[in-house]
A = this chain, B = another copy of it.
């Protein structure tokens, strides 16, 4: 009863935390830019507000990876979920016209496995680099009786900047504007609780099994990285060709597109304008999921929607090439009509 207790006895290893922190230092150093002023060990990360802007407005977003993490645990592949997280956050500020400045992550673990931490944060760092965004810091928490061994939660936070006059807030949208779809790479990071139920329980598949209908394994299909639309869309934003953008996440097209349309306007989306990828068809068939529910839970193949003036649609479609298609239009009214589904 009176044996001496240490923090380590209770399940927290401060030395392992210190080692993990040091091992992450090169990752952080590699993903900075000339505005990154802080080094490792600072309490907060420092980032100079970029000069040369008239009225800089910061745009910030927080997000998590959700239960896509469960697929990563089962697959023991921890190097892609960080990309999902960063790309999701970057898309969320891109739709308001902002480019990312810096990112911070929150990684909460049960046991602090240095290899896993390094793989997860390595994925975060790689995606930051790909999005020209500094990795300014983060928190790695050891919570032994919170998370099962080998499990963790991962959340992140991005800050970007936009010139005040260039904020996309939907006010420029007019009835008759065209919708242009950009394809998703797969499920992105939404609907995984339903997808996992169907794949692992209904179909009884394991992560290494072939996924029905395509030459890839279950883990390859389910872990496909949430795509960042920054590189594709930024040139169009700089040309002023986009009036609004919607990132299609939880809630699907019908839940997200109205968020960027002004009062009094709705949208007609032609759901016959594309064929949803195999993963969506398989989930629907195996789960017997109603088509409306599929469109409410999943992106169904549309990761981002651009709203453009009719006279600029051809230019935008030409710039996108095979990476975009005409999806529908903005109409008087409210809500989203999914033609071919409703």
CB distance from A243 to the nearest CB of B (A): 15
A1-14 contact mask (Cβ, 8 Å, vs B): 1 or 0: 11111110111101
CB distance from A284 to the nearest CB of B (A): 10
A interface residues, tally (CB under 8 Å): 91
A139 touches B153 (CB 8 A): no
CB distance from A96 to the nearest CB of B (A): 5
B5 touches A60 (CB 8 A): no
Contact of A155 among B10, B70, B91, B139 (CB under 8 A): B139
B259 touches A104 (CB 8 A): no
Residues A58-110 near B (CB distance < 8 A): 58-64, 66-67, 69-70, 91-93, 95-96, 98, 101-102, 104-106, 108
Decide yes or no whether A293 CB sits under 8 A from chain B. Answer: yes
Per assembly, the copies of the chain total 2
B41 touches A59 (CB 8 A): no
Which chain B positions have C-beta within 8 A of A141?
64, 66
Determine, out of A192-200, A206-214, A222-230, A325-333, the stretch whose residues face the partner at the interface: A192-200
CB distance from A101 to the nearest CB of B (A): 8
Decide yes or no whether A316 CB sits under 8 A from chain B. Answer: no
Contact of A62 among B1, B14, B105 (CB under 8 A): B105
Chain B residue with minimal CB distance to A101?
B58
B43 touches A95 (CB 8 A): yes
Q: How far is the CA of A95 from the CA of B169 in the complex (A)?
A: 35
Interface on A for B, CB 8 Å cutoff? Answer: 1-7, 9-12, 14, 17, 37, 41-49, 55-64, 66-67, 69-70, 91-93, 95-96, 98, 101-102, 104-106, 108, 136-139, 141-146, 151, 153, 155, 157-161, 164, 167, 169, 191, 193-194, 196-198, 202, 246-247, 250-251, 255, 259-260, 287-290, 293, 296-297
Additional A-B contacts beyond A17-B250, A60-B157, A157-B157 (4; CB < 8 A): A4-B287, A48-B164, A62-B105, A67-B146
> Which 10 A-B residue pairs are closest in the complex by CB-CB distance?
A157-B157, A44-B93, A106-B155, A62-B104, A44-B59, A5-B287, A44-B61, A4-B288, A10-B194, A10-B197
